[in-house]
Structure 1
Amino acid sequence: MVKCQVILDALERIAPRHLAEEWDNPGLLVGSPAQEVNRILVALDVSDHVVHQALEQGAQMIIAHHPLIFRPLKKLRTDLPLGHRLSVLLKHDIAVAAAHTNLDIAQGGVNDVLAEAIGLSKLSSFVITAQHEDGAVESMGRIGCLPSPMTIRDFALQVRQALPTQHVRFVDAGARPVRKVALCSGAGAEFIGKAAALGADAYVTGDVKYHDAQHAAELGMHVIDAGHFGTEFPVVEQLAARLRQELAEVPGGIQVVTDRSSRDFFELA
């Protein structure tokens, strides 16, 4: 077994906490840096289903993209979902850590995994979150190019087939071919105007509302809503692979397993 802190250090190398947005809550959320771990479960959410997997597989730690605790807790009621989940985790000494917007922004993180999955290359920054003296920038989302132009319908089909989702919704803004694509995993509708201003032919994100779609259509830019789950779940396998690499030489050995059975909450009727 290894100390939880060793795993937190590895996670810090993959997705440094300084990258996170001010409002975010990444890092160790349940447990102690001193507790011992020999198996980690990597997941998108710390749901009851994921906690059950951790118990079944003997994992002493869950690393998730979405923070289990996001806002300050004023009470801990074990008859309510979050309180019950926390009581189970504490009872079984299962630590929980999150890498949220820091993993969105990090190189090789959520947005890079999404871009690769849907066929984009020549990636550049999108919504810049920090700029350093050496000229390096950090950004939420990415902009990239397809190998050749496609219709929006064909690109929407390609996105659906590439991601763990039953369907995508798309805004067809006209005959404009799709070559330059902006993206932001999760919920990025607030950046529709930015994507259009940067000359994107299409914008891929999740959780798009009606008036967001209307705004994109008025700007003449296609939008593909591939869902919050669909745009983010692919990072689970990649994060697990990077943790295995970071921890490969750590004495004591550590196993990293992934949540393979969670599904989007939304289904088609």
Structure 2
Amino acid sequence: MKHNVATGKEIIDIFETFSPKHLAMDKDPIGLHVGTLHKKVHKVMVTLDVLENVVDEAIENEVDLIIAHHPLLFKPLQQINPDTEKGRIVQKLIKHDITVYAAHTNLDVAEGGVNDAMCEALGLDPKDILVETGQETLYKIAVYVPATHEEKVREALGNAGAGHIGNYSHCTFQTPGTGAFKPLEGSNPHLGDQGELEKVEEVRMETIVPEHVLSTVLRSMKEAHPYEEVAYDVYTLQNEGAKRGIGRVADLEKPMLLKDFAEHVKQAFDVPALRVVGDMEQKVKKIAVLGGDGNKFIHQAERSGADVFITGDVYFHVAHDALGMGLNIIDPGHHVEKVMKKAVQEYLIQECKEKQMETEVIVSTANTEPFQFL
């Protein structure tokens, strides 16, 4: 079967199935930052940050598209001045035709994203969301299919993510009937002739679709359907979809002393040091995890029943507040979010392989940790 090099848009369409934009928090500057998605992408590089050394690495590796967790442009630039680091970064990206795309809080929220990757690194199996940010909307698709293509369309819908209910996939309901249409001038009908009314044995196929795969499901449905113009309906449902949010809550298999668990965190995230708030001799079992700056979420961590809150950038007075409420904190830093690089890379490689796209996906090895430990 013929292989192909994906466009930037095709890569981002794949990525946004994993980390949809609608999961992002309000005013988060996600999406396209520099460049175009309407070009062939031979190589993608996944990074935590877009610093100058990362851009130099991308240039050296002939990268076409950078996918970053931390947005390059948190605030609009008033000027592009190459005498400044930000100006040099933008200048180099444009000069070398490198596109930059950012997925920030949507990647924090996404299933399999930053927080799940952190839990995986720690050997934790998350059971709950720490801070709920929304609930996924569910839709029903009803498509009219000639009986000859019923199985093909059902398979396409299910493979694209439609019809998943609990531990069941490819769930559909079919109603037989007769479809009627008259091909007009300029049409290229699969069945029938121009100007003649055609009647066909069809089925109305219904299935349920979560919002994050709706566009993918519709595209797959149309590709599998034989008709030039596909007749279908999309309805918004009142059924409760999956809850989404930032942070995760999990239990250790066996309680550990805080000092021992802190050492485990240090090793799991490969950091030279970390900060701990609490009684080192206390036994802990329930763990709350939130990548990045989790200062404003200590009360949610306490309400979750967590014995320990793992997060970064903890302030002095927030640490005092945590002590007062009996919440232990382990702060391994903000940079541990780097675990997202491998998670995104593995997802993109698998999807590109399934879609037979000859696009290479690498992770940045440039160091973007600003702190040194003595």
TM-score by length of 1: 0.96
SS at match of 2:292: coil
Q: Does residue 151 of structure 1 match 2:257?
A: yes
Q: 2:69 aligns to what?
A: 65
Q: 1:8 aligns to what?
A: 12
Q: Is the 8 A contact 1:178 1:201 kept in 2?
A: yes
Q: 1:82 aligns to what?
A: 86
SS at match of 1:184: strand
Is the deviation greater in 34-43 or in 172-181?
A: 172-181
Offset, 1:66: 0.6
Offset, 1:2: 2.4
Residues paired across the two proteins, number:
268
SS at match of 1:186: strand
Offset, 1:260: 2.3
**What's the CA shift string for 1:211-259, capped at 9, x where partnerless?**
11111100011100010002x0111011111011121144551000111
The one-letter code matched in structure 1 to 2:344 is L
Q: Is the 8 A contact 2:119 2:126 kept in 1?
A: no
Offset, 1:49: 1.1
Offset, 1:173: 4.0
Is the deviation greater in 146-155 or in 27-36?
A: 27-36
Aligned pairs (5 A) from 1:225-240: 225-230=331-336, 232-240=337-345
Q: Does residue 29 of structure 1 match 2:69?
A: no
Of 299, 304, 312, which aligns to 1:198?
A: 304
Q: 1:242 aligns to what?
A: 347
The one-letter code matched in structure 2 to 1:71 is K
Q: 2:245 aligns to what?
A: 139
Which whole-Å CA distance do the structure 1 matches of 2:84 and 2:368 have between them? 22
Aligned pairs (5 A) from 1:81-100: 81-100=85-104
Q: 1:254 aligns to what?
A: 359
**What's the CA shift string for 1:37-83, capped at 9, x where partnerless?**
10011110011111111111111111111111111222222211111
Aligned pairs (5 A) from 1:213-232: 213-230=319-336, 232=337
Q: Is the 8 A contact 2:278 2:323 kept in 1?
A: yes
Which whole-Å CA distance do the structure 1 matches of 2:373 and 2:35 have between them? 38
Q: 1:182 aligns to what?
A: 288
Any gaps of 5 or more consecutive residues in structure 1? none
The one-letter code matched in structure 2 to 1:183 is V
Assess, with a 3 A threshold, how the Cα gap between structure 1 residues 146 and 101 changes in structure 2: closer, same or farther. Answer: same
From the CA coordinates, give the structure whose radius of gyration is larger: 2
Aligned pairs (5 A) from 1:39-54: 39-54=43-58
Which whole-Å CA distance do the structure 2 matches of 1:212 and 1:117 have between them? 26
The one-letter code matched in structure 1 to 2:95 is K
Which whole-Å CA distance do the structure 2 matches of 1:38 and 1:112 have between them? 28
Runs of 4+ in 1 over 2 A off after TM superposition: 173-176, 249-252
The one-letter code matched in structure 1 to 2:319 is A
The one-letter code matched in structure 1 to 2:56 is H
Assess, with a 3 A threshold, how the Cα gap between structure 1 residues 122 and 96 changes in structure 2: closer, same or farther. Answer: closer
Q: Is the 8 A contact 2:29 2:74 kept in 1?
A: yes
Is the deviation greater in 91-100 or in 23-32?
A: 23-32
Q: Is the 8 A contact 1:167 1:226 kept in 2?
A: yes
**What's the CA shift string for 1:176-226, capped at 9, x where partnerless?**
421001111011111011111221100000000111111110001110001
Q: Is the 8 A contact 1:41 1:54 kept in 2?
A: yes
Q: Is the 8 A contact 1:41 1:59 kept in 2?
A: yes
**What's the CA shift string for 1:8-54, capped at 9, x where partnerless?**
10111110000001121111111112122100111100111111111
The one-letter code matched in structure 1 to 2:338 is F
Is the deviation greater in 248-257 or in 122-131?
A: 248-257
Assess, with a 3 A threshold, how the Cα gap between structure 1 residues 122 and 20 changes in structure 2: closer, same or farther. Answer: closer
Any gaps of 5 or more consecutive residues in structure 2? 137-238
TM-score by length of 2: 0.69
SS at match of 1:126: strand
